[in-house]
Copies of this chain bind each other. A is one copy, B any other.
Amino acid sequence: VIKRIAPEAEVIDITHGISPQHVLQGALVLANTLPYMPVGIHVAVVDPGVGGDRKPLALRGADGRCYVGPDNGLLLIAADRLGGVEEAVEIADERYMLTPVSRTFHGRDVFSPAAAHLAAGVELNELGPRLEPDKLTRLEVPAAQVGSSRIRATALYVDRFGNIQLNLTSDELERVGIVPGTKVEVEVRFERYFAIAARTFADVRPGDIVLYEDAYRNIALAINQGNAAHMFSARVGQEVKLSLAE
């Protein structure tokens, strides 16, 4: 669809692997990935509300990136982290859509065409009426509860290795005394396990449960050369409790 409208545009796929309907997972992957991508027109579609009254959005960020996708929070974690939204419009002008617009596939009929027209030189404000950046839908990333000796965290997403990213930073871990080398008690679904805090997989043995700072500076739970999500039967949203092991 993009190539028919903007044959010169270069299309780079980030992923087609977001779990169906997981808007938060999509938003976090987008926010983690974009700092490593060239400035461009970024289309993201995780869109359980397609065909309803959520608006289709096109945004321009402070660093010159444009974002296209549904107004369900998917774009905003990335855009806010990368300097904020400078201009926002609702995609409303049918000249920039594939018509008739289907009720269930706006990725094809609304978002990709709008992105292609932007890539081909159409101005953002030609796509439709302005929206107030502050009034766009934003997702709440659940905060970890950090007590004096225990942490209650949440799984934000699970990657293809089965590593479980938590809503937690190394600073928060340190507050309960967990640093690389310490033993940690992990509770998932009423089961307890022992993990080791480590800088990298090479510091532990195969099969060890490991708590480490991942490449996006989030704390993640993994099994060295294994699949933690399978072992813990953990999904996005799963509660994970951590404390210093005695």
Spell out A's residues near B (CB within 8 Å). 1, 3-4, 7, 12, 20-21, 36-38, 48-54, 98, 102-105, 108-109, 160-162, 199-203, 212-215, 224-225, 227
Copies of this chain assembled into the complex: 3
Cβ–Cβ < 8 Å partners of A7 in chain B = 38
Interface of A is mostly: loop
Asked if residues A212 and B104 are in contact (CB atoms below 8 Å), the reply is: yes
Chain B, residue nearest A11 (CB): B12
B50 lies within 8 A of A104 (CB): no
Specify which chain B residues have a CB less than 8 angstroms from the CB of A3 in the assembled complex: 12, 37-38
In the assembled complex, the CB of A31 is this many whole angstroms from the nearest CB of chain B, namely 15
* Contacting pair B103 A199 (CB below 8 A): yes
- Residue on B nearest A21 in the bound complex, by CB: B225
Shortest distance between the CB of A202 and any CB in chain B (Å): 3
Residues of B within 8 A of A49 (CB): 201-202
Give the residues in chain B near A108, CB-CB below 8 Å: 36, 215
